[in-house]
Chains A and B, each alone.
Chain A
Amino acid sequence: MTPTGLEVSPFFTLVWWVTAIGIVVAAWSVVFLRDVLKAALALIGSFLGVAGMFVMLNAEFLAAIQVLLYAGAISILIIFAVLLTRDVFRGNPSNRFERLAFFLAGALMFFLTFVIIATPWGQLKDAQLSPEAQAGVAQVFSNTTPIIGQLLVQEYVLPFEVASVLLLAAILGAIVLVREE
């Protein structure tokens, strides 16, 4: 879809850059902070920033899920694990692969950035859409939640059911693993 009025506005660009820099700084803190508890709090900040990105991508339903599941449930689980293991005082040390991993991750980042910039996405994005098609696309992205619901119980009903079995197995497995004998 061609950019609409809001997306080319300087305000959108400014908000995007602030959110993006916030996400990267928070993710960097997760990896490099010495205090594991503070790293978990930085992780929540990163999750909230990604929720903001979803809002900017017209995915409001995903943004809500992101806040509920990631910033709510998963981060609480992680903070519980940090507190229960009482290993906080040992800090957040690196193993002996630190330099190799840093080099690998940096090389991957440069490679991905190069590929993303070199790929001619414009040919895909600027394909000519008829006015009716553009109106339809705009309508879909103005209210995504009912369409996601329909997709989940029609096209993707099998993965949907498999996901429920997976969650059930995960619940049982977690209970069995941490149960007191």
Chain B
Amino acid sequence: MLAPIGLEHFLVLSGALFSIGLYGALAKKNAVVVLMSIELMFNAVNVAVVAFSRYIAPATTAQLPDTARFLLTGQVFAVFVITVAAAEVALGLALVLAIYRLRATVHVTEMNLMKQ
């Protein structure tokens, strides 16, 4: 029988998702795929902070006077991460489209205007 799900399960899942995203961001030529991989890494971090908020925060904030305020800090962090991710992907894709219009390529290996 499988062990009950705990913090470690969520963290290992988060680490695996982050590593896959890191590989995609480092190894892919297509700038859109690089952006997709960065989104995967954002998601991995969100899973980790929300898991910490669920499993670690209750035990560590129980001694504080107003517990409820601190329990959900991880979830608020995740809200901000999602906001920044939205801004990042909008600007990133605008950049990709602008470069595509100029150079007719979305491959990061061919975006070497400053090298020439």
Chain A contacts to B: CB under 8 angstroms: 1, 3, 7-8, 10, 12-14, 16-17, 20, 23-24, 27-28, 30-31, 36, 39-40, 43, 46-47, 50, 53-54, 56-59, 61-62, 65-66, 69-70, 73-74, 77-78, 80-82, 84-85, 87, 90, 92-95, 97-98, 100-102, 104-106, 108-109, 112-113, 116-117, 121, 124-127, 129-130, 133, 136-137, 139-141, 144, 147-148, 150-152, 155-156, 159, 163, 166-167, 169-171, 173-174, 177-178
Contact = CB atoms under 8 A, between A and B. Distances in A.
19 contacts: A1-B55, A14-B2, A27-B40, A54-B50, A78-B35, A90-B30, A93-B30, A95-B27, A95-B28, A105-B20, A106-B19, A113-B16, A116-B8, A127-B59, A141-B71, A163-B84, A170-B91, A171-B90, A174-B93
User: Which has the most chain A C-beta neighbours within 10 Å: B4, B19, B21?
Assistant: B19
B28 A92 contact: yes
Contacts, number: 284
A interface, by DSSP: helix, strand, loop or mixed?
Answer: helix
A167 B56 contact: no
Interface residues of B, number: 81
B interface, by DSSP: helix, strand, loop or mixed?
Answer: helix
A142 B56 CA distance: 17
Contacts of B13: 20, 23-24, 53
B13 to A, nearest CB: 5
Nearest to A159: B80
Interface of B: 1-13, 15-24, 26-30, 32-33, 35-37, 39-40, 43, 46-47, 50-51, 53-56, 58-60, 62, 67-69, 71-73, 75-76, 78-80, 82-91, 93-98, 100, 105-109
B56 A124 contact: yes
